[in-house]
Chain A
Amino acid sequence: MASIDESKVLSAKQQLDVKNQRLVRKLLWMLLGSLLFAFALVPIYNVLCTMTGLNGKTQNSATLLAKAKIDNSRWVNVQFTSSVMSGLGWNFYPKTTSVRVHPGQIETVIFVAKNTTNEVVVGQAIPSVTPGIAAANLKKIECFCFIRQSLKPGEEKAMPLRFFVSPDLPKDVSDMTLSYSFFPAVQLK
């Protein structure tokens, strides 16, 4: 060491420090990138779900009345079921438990909800379709699940669902189930 010029050693050390800091900064950017990616995964996941029907999610907004051709050559059996989740003092059930439709044919079914408590209660229905592959092909024109529903004490309400099954539904799906879970509405932030 002694033989090396003192000033040169210092500058080598400083050079290294600068080099280290530069790399640290790059790595911190990478870290920030992965953190952003983690939160970006939430919208990405949701888009992916509605597009592919991954996890049985359906589109949560009205589909414009389509000019879809009715495919008279096949029948699809659409079944309805409901769950009332803990904390909601309602009765809720589909009036018809299943309908047979042609793909493209518009159908209306009625769900009945009744508030059995002595207070105004607000609920939110969450739809889910199985098999997942069918979820993206169930198109809703009008649904009580798009918005929160409020019922006065003792009030009974018929809630219509207007939908059609897209003719794009894979040929091997003959049965699908649409389930509504009615939750007490949450405070949305």
Chain B
Amino acid sequence: MRGYRKISLGISAMLASLSAHADYSWNFPEPVTPMALDTLHVHNKFMLIAMAIFFIVLAIMIYSIFAHRKSKNFKPVTDKAPSTAVEIFWTLIPFAILLLIDFVIMGIPAYHSVIMMENTRDKANMVIKITGSQWRWQYEYMDGDAQGIKFVSNLSTPKEQTDKGFDGKKDENYLLEVDNHLVLPVGAKVRILMTSADVMHNWWVPQFGSSRLAVPGFIRETWVQVEKAGTYRGQCKELCGKGHGYMPVVVDALPVEEYKTWVAAKKEELAKASAGADKEWTKDELVANGKTVYEKNCAVCHQVSGAGLPPAFPALTGSKIANGPIFGADGKYLKDSHLDRVLNGIRVMPSWKALLNDTEIASVITYERNALGNSVGDLLQPAQVKAARQ
């Protein structure tokens, strides 16, 4: 029987992995923020209470099961129906016990946790805006030295590993690695603003203990204060379509000095990237660069081949938009042209103008028009994208 073989294989695999690394986590991962620490304490306390109730009740029940059974010739007590007063008295006991547990033993610490979680009283050191979109996170530093830093964070686990049927060795941080980490200074209280560009998402790092829904059109907030340097990983936890399992969160917490270095470096990098827009690019350069951009950002819906997944995600190969003209006679880009669609999006198609820089947009458009089975032959210069944006 195949089922049997599968099970025995599974069990041996289990045993093997048990001995290989007995790295089971039986509880929340190590908390690194005050909120996560508090959550862990509350959780541990409540779990202990729940277990105590459970095992006490279970013990009484098991005693009864063994003592009061017919096979032992235990004669049932001839119960007269209890009088209402007696019944009320007895049933009030469990009621009272739970009343005490709910609203005192559990209720009071739970109250303090809620107040702490929702605390906007203490002024935050910095503010970060997080925008969820299908299926990537966008981070924007809203104030301080880092103001203006803005980037997109994409899953960076190699695609062949996440593809169906891959049987080789997977990366250590399989599905939990991104190209651009969010970087936060250790010890700073960071106010996090959440919103979404399309459907609901939920930004969650288990070690931070905070999670908040990202709702399109609305803004929400939570806060984190990472107290230990390190790299922390999490995932989106609101079902957001087919890429829901593929939008991890990775945060680097750096000591303040290193954080400052990172801010300077990141600013320089972004400046350099936007400077690239002024350069004249060749078609080959654009196509080569565009392939990378395409596979990172577009292939999840339109597929690596450009075939799309109709009807939800149209094919680019042979598409009217990807093969039509971009600019009108007045030199402005046309509505529903290739550039309009990529810059501004429509319905499910995201607007990329806030997510990609001029070079990336020019490259990916040039790539889509000259690869994926299309051969329009023209090219789009980053400078043209830059002009179109303004």
- Asked if A pairs with B, the answer is yes
B349–A117 CB distance below 8 A: no
Q: Quick one: CB contact mask for A67-97 with B, threshold 8 Å, 1 for yes?
A: 0000000000001010111111101000001
Inside 8 A of A84's CB, which chain B residues have their CB? 351, 353-354
The 0/1 profile, CB within 8 Å of B marked 1, for residues 1-29 of chain A is 00000000000000000000000000000
Interface stretch of the complex, out of A32-40, A158-166, A169-177: A169-177
B329 CB to nearest chain A CB (Å)? 10
- Which residue, of B221, B349, B354, has the highest number of chain A Cβ atoms within 10 A? B221
**Could you tell me if A130 and B347 are in contact, using CB atoms closer than 8 angstroms?**
no
CB distance from B7 to the nearest CB of A (A): 48
The CA-CA distance from A55 to B213 in the complex, in Å, is 11
> A157 at interface (Cβ–Cβ under 8 A)?
no
Look across to chain A and name the residue whose beta carbon is closest to the beta carbon of B124.
Answer: A175
Among B343-390, those with CB < 8 Å from A are 343-351, 353-354, 388-390
Q: Which residues of A have CB within 8 Å of B193?
A: 81, 130, 177, 179
Chain A: CB-nearest residue to B390? A116
A105 and B354 alpha carbons, distance in the complex (Å): 34
A100 to chain B, nearest CB (A): 12
With A126-B217, A130-B219 in contact, is A85–B197 under 8 Å at CB?
yes
User: 11 A-B contacts, Cβ less than 8 Å apart?
Assistant: A81-B193, A86-B198, A87-B345, A87-B346, A116-B388, A130-B221, A174-B121, A175-B123, A175-B124, A177-B221, A181-B217
Tell me, in angstroms, the Cα distance from A183 to B347 when the chains sit together.
11
Known contacts A86-B198, A172-B121, A179-B193, A130 near B335 by CB under 8 Å: no
Nearest chain A residue, comparing its CB with the CB of B352: A86
Query: Range of interface residues on chain A?
Result: 20 to 34
Chain A residues with CB under 8 A of B390: 91, 114, 116
Assess the B328–A128 pair: CB atoms within 8 A: no
Cβ of B143: which chain A residues have Cβ within 8 Å of it? 79, 97-98
Q: Is A56 an interface residue (CB 8 A)?
A: yes
Asked if B340 is an interface residue, CB under 8 A from chain A, the answer is yes
The 10 closest A-B pairs by CB, nearest first: A86-B345, A179-B219, A118-B332, A172-B121, A89-B344, A130-B221, A128-B218, A128-B219, A87-B346, A86-B351
Say whether A174 contacts B120, CB under 8 Å.
Answer: yes
Chain A residues with a Cβ under 8 A of chain B? 55-56, 79, 81, 83-89, 91, 97-98, 114, 116-119, 126, 128-131, 153-154, 172-175, 177, 179, 181, 183
Chain A hits for B140, CB < 8 A = 81
Contacts of B350 on A, CB cut-off 8 Å?
A: 86
| CB–CB B129/A86 < 8 A | no
A113 to chain B minimum Cβ distance, whole angstroms, is 13
Give Cα distance in the complex from A32 to B151, angstroms.
52
Whether A83 lies near B197 (C-beta < 8 A) is yes
Binding site for A on B (CB under 8 A): 118, 120-121, 123-124, 127, 129, 131, 140, 142-143, 147, 191, 193, 195, 197-198, 216-221, 328, 330, 332-335, 340, 343-351, 353-354, 388-390
The residue from B118, B120, B333, B346 contacting A86, defined by CB atoms under 8 A apart: B346
Extra contacts besides A56-B220, A84-B354, A177-B221 (12): CB < 8 Å: A83-B197, A84-B351, A86-B345, A86-B349, A86-B351, A87-B346, A128-B195, A130-B193, A172-B120, A174-B120, A175-B123, A183-B217
**Residue on A nearest B330 in the bound complex, by CB:** A118
Tell me the smallest distance from the CB of B142 to a CB of chain A, in Å. Answer: 7
Q: Which residue in chain B gives the minimum CB-CB distance to A114?
A: B390
Alpha-carbon distance A143/B118, docked complex (angstroms): 29
Looking at the assembled complex, report how far the CB atom of A165 sits from the nearest CB atom of chain B, in whole angstroms: 14
Min CB–CB distance A159 → chain B (angstroms): 18
Report the bound CA distance from A84 to B131 in whole Å. Answer: 11
Assess the B129–A128 pair: CB atoms within 8 A: no
- Assess whether A81 is in contact with B142, with CB atoms less than 8 Å apart: yes
Q: Across the interface, do A89 and B332 meet the contact criterion of CB distance under 8 Å?
A: no
Residues in B neighbouring A119, C-beta threshold 8 A: 335
Nearest A residue to B221, CB-CB: A130
Residues from chain B with Cβ under 8 Å of A85 in the complex: 197, 216-217, 351
Chain A: minimal CB distance from B223 (Å): 11
Nearest A residue to B138 via CB reads A83
Query: Using Cβ atoms and an 8 Å threshold, which residues of chain A touch B353?
Result: 84, 91
Set of chain A residues within 8 Å of B220, measured between Cβ atoms: 56, 130
Residues of A within 8 A of B344 (CB): 86-89, 117
Task: Indicate if the CB atoms of B335 and A117 lie closer than 8 Å.
Answer: yes
